[in-house]
Amino acid sequence: MLVKTQKQLSNTTWKEEKFFNFINSFFYMKKIKLEIIGMSYSQSQSGAYALILGVSGENRRLPIIIGGFEAQAIAIELEKMKPTRPLTHDLLKSFATHFNIRINEVIINKFENGIFYSKLVCEADGHITEIDSRTSDAVALAIRFKCPIYTYENIIKEAGITMDDETGAKVETTQTKALGIEGDFEDYMLDELKEMLDKAITDENFEDASRLRDEINKRKEKLD
């Protein structure tokens, strides 16, 4: 009978662990294509909007809080409206086109402390360059360059929300129903926050859902 030594067992365990870590890293860093579902106006934050991105062909959503100017820049291009004078993102598009610079894709590549980070994958004369960008600006430019928007599985897992089949219908640009939640969550237990998150998702109140999601993630990190 073949008996493995302790060293052989340790080597096997180490190799298996390394293999599974590689598989997990590959899975969580896999690019996932997103599409713009809509925007909802924030009643609790003056001038803020919730930009709703969705995983193509799925009921998973990625709500991102953005400012009014960025929301306007996105909405104008989505609605194919022509402002009398070019907006900042239109100027950037014209500038890039004039010098043969193209944005091939936008990647939402990091989520940290409730903030999304993105990068523009640009090409000029056959050279690929990555440029850091605010996510709202990146989305506004992606629409104008007609390029795809991606994120990674780990970001969807951490910051995304899943819609029920019955409530996963199209999200229109409309005012959201406020849950009456202020910025302080200290009086709520974790289970209560989860129930409030489920209600926010059911009501398609993505702004409160994103705030509740961030608070739940903070609580879980403290428990770990």
> Where are any strands of DSSP class E within the chain?
31-41, 48-55, 60-67, 101-112, 115-124, 127-134, 149-152, 161-162, 174-175
Please answer whether residues 61 and 159 qualify as being in contact, where contact means their C-beta atoms are separated by less than 8 angstroms: no
Within 10 Å of residue 63's Cβ, how many Cβ atoms? Answer: 26
Q: How far is CA 73 from CA 38, 132, 150, 166, in A?
A: 13, 19, 20, 31
Q: How far apart are CA 57 and CA 61, in angstroms?
A: 11
**E strand or H helix at 202:** helix 190-202
Q: How far apart are CA 117 and CA 158, in angstroms?
A: 14
pLDDT at 136: 95
Res 110 pLDDT > 80: yes
63-107 per-position pLDDT tens digit:
999 988 899 899 889 888 887 888 899 999 999 999 999 999 999
Q: What is the reported pTM?
A: 0.67
Which tokens go with 204?
Answer: 């398609």
What sign results for the dihedral spanned by CA atoms 76, 176, 158, 56?
Answer: negative
159-193 per-position pLDDT tens digit:
998 887 644 444 433 323 333 444 566 677 888 88
Q: How far apart are the first and last CA of the chain?
A: 43
Q: What is the CATH number of domain 31-175?
A: 3.10.690.10
The domains of the chain are located at: 31-175
